[in-house]
Amino acid sequence: MSEWSVDSIFFSIVIPAYNRADRIGKTLESVLEQTFFQFEVLVVNDGSTDDTVGAVKPYLADHRVRLFSIENGERGAARNFGVRQARGAYVTFLDSDDLLLPWHLAEAFSIAKNHTIDIFHLNYEILHGNGRIETLQVLPREVNEKLLEGNFLSCLGIFGKRELWLRYPFDESRVLAGSEDYELWLRIAARIPIYCFPQVTSRLVNHTARSVLKVDRQGLVSRITALEQKLKADQKFTKAFEQGLGRLHAYTELYLALHLALSGGRWAAVQLLPRIVSSFPRIVFSYRFMVLIKKILIG
């Protein structure tokens, strides 16, 4: 701790928090257990109605932790706010219910110092409620094209230079909330390479209160529609991925159909099948398409 100073900050960790009084303590503890010390933590209280602020206050005794409170504007707005306050050369993000493994920042520092890249991603694992730990697939070193098939990245593993996030902020519209990160990865992927490294350095905690697991069918349809509309309006995106637009459409529709089926809307999922297959016929050989068919047939 004695080596730390404002001038030495290399990483800024932005944590948007909404009603996470019961979980954010463990998240912050995982950050403060890092073996690499030159970082700051920016907790952005996104209009919480519980005692999230009270849960964070004990950690403010560590001068690396800063707390801000803003009106509720969803995660994109909270992350953008945090980036604007950040003092590190690189900014990374962490949801207020996830965990960093102790070597997370040390691995990221090694990559940042040994590679001339603006944005990269470290792998993560998923901790399920029954204690099972799920290891994810190893992604291609350059993941740009693969992103057309879905959001394989996570905010808790992404690192980018601060100037990059200022140039390409998260979309703050509420209709896109839940896909604001995926939209940004695709927007960036149309412009510069996004590099992935296989080291597992963080843990996504899968629990029933996760906001991404709550399915509002109409909201989900609106979100997927807004995502595609925004990407189609981005000329650099449509030019960079001209040959892959059908694949993107098929996989976004597949994502929608799968979530509809999981929430009891099997007939709505069936109605999407012709559009999915016609947009990208080879999708029928994908594992996710087979999962969808299984959910439709047997629930």
Domains and CATH numbers, the chain: 6-209 (3.90.550.10), 217-298 (no CATH)
pLDDT tens digits for range 49-75: 999 999 999 999 999 999 999 999 999
Note whether 170 and 76 are within 8 A (CB): yes
**pLDDT tens digits, 96-113:** 999 999 999 999 999 999
Answer whether residue 291 shows pLDDT above 70: yes
**In this model, does residue 28 exceed pLDDT 50?**
yes
Phi, psi values for residue 42, rounded to 5°: -115, 105
Furthest-apart CA atoms within the chain: distance in Å: 62
Note the pTM of the prediction, 2 decimals: 0.93
Alpha helices in 176-216 (DSSP H): 180-189
What is the distance between the terminal CA atoms of the chain, rounded to a whole angstrom?
53
Q: Which among 36, 42, 6 has a CA at the least distance from the CA of 165?
A: 42
4 pLDDT above the threshold of 70: yes
Q: How far apart are CA 299 and CA 297, in angstroms?
A: 6
pLDDT for residue 1? 46
Share of the chain above pLDDT 90, in %: 89
Query: Per-residue DSSP letters for 244-257?
Result: GHHHHHHHHHHHHH
Tell me if 209 sits within 8 A of 249, measured CB to CB: no
Average pLDDT over residues 170-174: 96
On the question of pLDDT at 202 being above 50, the answer is yes
